Structure 1
Amino acid sequence: MKIHALSGGTLRMKKSVYFPGVAPDAMIELPVSCFLIQHPQGNVLFDTGCHPELASAPFKRIGGMAKTMEVTSPPGVNVIEGLRSLGIRPEDIDLVVNSHFHTDHCGCNIFFTSATIVCHRCELAAARSQNAERQGYFPVDWDSDAQFQEIDSEYDVFGDGRIVLVPLPGHTPGSLGALVTLDQSGAILMASDAASLRSNLDNRTVPRNTWDGDGFLKSLDEIQRIQRSGATIFFGHDAQQWAVLERQRTFT
């Protein structure tokens, strides 16, 4: 089994979203992390990152929400090109696991026409709810002809304990993490935006773009419990960690 770290793009946002008390005009660069998990029974892609159009035509794609984030990665930096560099085509992906349905985590879903989309039942309900776009859910990203597999509790993807999806609500109603156990690297929890930055976990800070603050803190408790058990945490948007992941790229 292997994990490959793939770039889903890079965003620029206001730093105050993540760090209370900073200057309102301070900005932060946020790498978008995606991961290909190669399991003997299939290829699993955890998150699909930003659609290429989010850089070239952001207002066309997500309307006024484009004012809150800017794609700063150059053209060609997306999960499709990352997979191509590994010799993997979109049709080679069996399962896409979306940690949640915000545009930077499911933007390239449309390319994976052969894959089943695995998500939390509460997340799909939130994306389908009235006025969902105000919460950052855009049908152009998540609403496709793909088959959805909804879960509502921990889910062992292949029944062997190697890839277990863990509900981590708070950032959104149905946020998911993936706990993957590798032979050499051991247990790795892909936390996505349940812990976007290492500072969220270390300092127990709740970002401003959080749906449920109390739920977010409870999910941090669960992430810390998993960390104490020996797992490495992969954060959703931590630039310092991403520099390391991008260099190593493959974990076994």
Structure 2
Amino acid sequence: MEMEMGITIHGLVTGESAVPLHSLFVNMVLDLRIEEREKFRPFAYKEVIRWPDGSVTDGKWSPIPIWYIKGADKKILVDTSFNSVEHVAEVRSARGEVFILRREPRWEIRNALSTVGVKPEDIDIVIHTHLHWDHCGNDGLFTKASFIAQREELALALTPPPYALHYQKELTKGILDVLDRFRTINGDVTIVDGVELWKLGGHTPGSMAVAVKTDVGLVALIGDVIGDYKNLELNWPGPAGNYWSLDQLVKAYRLVKKKADIIIPGHDWKVWSLHPEGKIG
């Protein structure tokens, strides 16, 4: 008799970007002494990152993942990454942004999903932790899926005000192609047995965690509410300048620490060090 397996989570890398160290923490002082800076160094820390404008900073490489939830009643994917390096470069460069973004062939969406034996058209439900450009850029690939996001996110993604950082309609307009399959929610919801959504806010008005009951405990995929394990370790919210409500962010930290057994940050290579091949559960 075969043993029934529980729900597992599979973190699939779809790209990576460079991030200056000072951008990881709210109100971080830039001129800290070397010994003081040591405690802030994240897993993928680099002493030298050379930016396209010629400037040099320390910082880290941040993965841009999607998360496949296997073993639930439905085939569920959390987030859909960015659409292409070239398109992102065109849009963000036109806005005067300086950034580094890369995607290896193995990180293409179809290739990443193939490592867990699924294709985009196999996915039943796509859950968006929020609707920034690097979390919803490939919705159109999922031709049979329904989509879920908190209510506030959809309006901001489709008609973003100038002050709404990283809601870039040129990069999220693919949502329009799946709008008839989009479901907006307001608050906490159970999607299927073992998969819950917790509305948190903070990073964006509708940021939410996806909480999954696995054999190793309740795992919270936290999106960008907590970007890096260092934010969690130091209890120091971030990213700097990239949050909607600092009050909500602080409350979100407290909530997920209280409720979840395992917290998975949104952009930290350390996940794959702690959980080989990105498998949790």
TM-score category, normalised to shorter length = 0.7 to 0.9
Aligned to 1:106: 136
Aligned to 2:43: none
Name the SS for the 1:117 alignment partner: strand
Aligned to 1:131: 161
The 3 A distance-change label for structure 1 pair 21 and 72 is farther
Aligned to 1:33: 65
How far, CA to CA, are the matches of 2:266 and 2:11 in structure 1?
A: 11
Aligned to 1:204: 235
State the identity as a percent: 25
Aligned residues: 243
How far, CA to CA, are the matches of 1:65 and 1:215 in structure 2?
A: 29
Q: Which amino acid aligns with 1:187?
A: L
Aligned to 1:219: 252
Aligned-pair distance for 1:63? Answer: 4.6
The two structures, once aligned, show a CA RMSD in angstroms of 2.2
TM-score of the superposed pair, with normalisation by structure 1: 0.87
- More displaced 10-residue stretch of structure 1: 78-87 or 66-75: 66-75
Q: Which amino acid aligns with 2:190?
A: D
Superimposed CA distance per residue, residues 203-249 of structure 1 (whole angstroms, 9 cap, x where no aligned partner): 2323211121111111111111124xxx111111122223333x243
Aligned-pair distance for 1:133? Answer: 7.9
1:21 aligns with 2:29: yes
Aligned to 1:187: 218
Aligned-pair distance for 1:68? Answer: 4.2
Aligned-pair distance for 1:33? Answer: 2.5
Aligned to 2:265: 235
Superimposed CA distance per residue, residues 125-178 of structure 1 (whole angstroms, 9 cap, x where no aligned partner): 3223452585211233252321111111111002x3x00011110100100111
Corresponding residue to 2:119 among 73, 89, 94: 89
Name the SS for the 1:32 alignment partner: strand
How far, CA to CA, are the matches of 2:105 and 2:221 in structure 1?
A: 26
How far, CA to CA, are the matches of 1:145 and 1:191 in structure 2?
A: 26
The 3 A distance-change label for structure 1 pair 65 and 185 is farther
Aligned to 2:12: 6
Aligned to 1:154: 188
Aligned-pair distance for 1:92? Answer: 0.3
How far, CA to CA, are the matches of 1:64 and 1:216 in structure 2?
A: 30
CA contact (8 A) 1:49 1:78 kept: no
Structure 2 unaligned runs (5+)?
1-6, 32-55
How far, CA to CA, are the matches of 1:87 and 1:119 in structure 2?
A: 25
How far, CA to CA, are the matches of 1:104 and 1:32 in structure 2?
A: 7
Q: Which amino acid aligns with 1:168?
A: L
The 3 A distance-change label for structure 1 pair 106 and 133 is farther
Name the SS for the 1:26 alignment partner: strand
- More displaced 10-residue stretch of structure 1: 215-224 or 23-32: 23-32
Corresponding residue to 1:77 among 107, 110, 129: 107
Aligned to 1:171: 203
Name the SS for the 1:135 alignment partner: coil
Aligned-pair distance for 1:99? Answer: 0.5
The 3 A distance-change label for structure 1 pair 130 and 102 is closer
How far, CA to CA, are the matches of 1:77 and 1:190 in structure 2?
A: 20
How far, CA to CA, are the matches of 2:163 and 2:82 in structure 1?
A: 16
How far, CA to CA, are the matches of 1:168 and 1:179 in structure 2?
A: 12
How far, CA to CA, are the matches of 2:74 and 2:88 in structure 1?
A: 33
Q: Whose relative contact order is higher, 1 or 2, with alpha carbons under 8 Å and at least 6 apart?
A: 2
Aligned-pair distance for 1:40? Answer: 4.1
Name the SS for the 2:97 alignment partner: helix
Superimposed CA distance per residue, residues 63-109 of structure 1 (whole angstroms, 9 cap, x where no aligned partner): 54573432134234133211122221111001111101111111222
CA contact (8 A) 1:48 1:105 kept: yes
Q: Which amino acid aligns with 2:217?
A: G
Aligned-pair distance for 1:122? Answer: 1.2
